Amino acid sequence: MGLLGVISNKLVMGKSDLLNNSAVRLMKNEFGQASVLIADKTAWILRHGNDSNYHILPHLINYRANLQALKDLGATEIVGINSTGSLKKDLCPGMIVIPDDFITLTSTPTIHQNKAVHITSSLNENVRQKIIKAALISKIKVIKKGTYWQTHGPRLETKAEIKMMANFADIVGMTMANEAVIALELDLPYASACSIDNFGNGLLKKPLSMKEIIAGTRKNADLMIRLLQNYLKLFS
């Protein structure tokens, strides 16, 4: 493996010593600007931005610029770290799912604007298996398959939407499918480790709150860092 590209949330970055000696590099390309944290063997993008006082909402993330920046830096594969809600009562907060497929029924970004190019969307099986192996070495139990349903965001889903999605998918989020599609268009192998940070709206009687979601993400951040550390040890 050459340079590993990582796309994650801010909470994982805040707990990682992988970025202690990283340098911020602003990358400009035809799709816009991306801020990349470059460490020894990784090029790391925080999809919601580096600024602790400003949060880029999911529908405003420049996925094309982010993935193009990683390609320009020479990344040979991409690992996404994604926060999700569970669509099943037996998939509990604290678990990690390595999805093998996804659904998104809203429009996704594309690098192709003026020509007819059709791709068959997928997650890279080689990177998926590497993530699973790194998790096992880390003694982190993961669900080795699952379907991710991407919604547009930034609002959370209604109870009726969660009930419907649960018939076809296992977890729900707002970002992974966009990254997977753009990565495939750029010929960048991409797969994701998805932490379950909360139950979907309506799965439990207790109302869903953002406070609970953020608390779940913080709790799972340590697991994700351990997984990434061993990914680099095994495959760099």
What CA dihedral angle connects 158, 48, 178 and 13, to 10 degrees?
A: -110
Count of domains for the chain: 1
Parallel, antiparallel, or unpaired: how do β-strands 42-46 and 96-97 relate?
unpaired
| Dihedral sign from CA coordinates of 176, 178, 180, 183 | negative
Domain that includes residue 83, residue range: 3-235
- Given this model, what pLDDT does residue 116 score? 65
- Given this model, what pLDDT does residue 29 score? 97
Q: Which residue in this structure is represented by tokens 């970002």?
A: 175
Tens of pLDDT along the chain (236 residues) come to 689 999 998 766 655 677 777 889 999 999 999 999 998 889 999 999 887 788 899 999 999 999 999 999 999 999 999 999 999 999 999 899 999 999 999 888 888 777 767 777 889 999 999 999 999 998 999 999 999 999 998 898 999 999 999 999 999 999 999 999 999 999 999 999 999 988 999 898 776 667 776 776 777 888 898 999 999 999 87
Q: Convert the pLDDT of each residue in 159-176 to its tens digit.
A: 999 999 999 999 999 999
Q: What is the CATH number of the domain that holds 197?
A: 3.40.50.1580
Q: Across the strands, what pairs with 27? A: 34
Residue 100 to residue 121: CA distance in whole angstroms: 11
The DSSP H or E segment spanning 216 is helix 210-235
Residue 3 three-state SS: strand
Ramachandran bin of 123, using left for φ above 0, alpha for ψ from -120 to 50, beta for the remaining angles:
beta
Residue 78 to residue 101: CA distance in whole angstroms: 16
Q: 2 Cβ partners below 8 Å, 6+ apart?
A: 74, 75, 76
Residue 233 to residue 236: CA distance in whole angstroms: 6
Q: Which residue in this structure is represented by tokens 């480790």?
A: 193
What tokens appear for 72 in the block?
């320009």
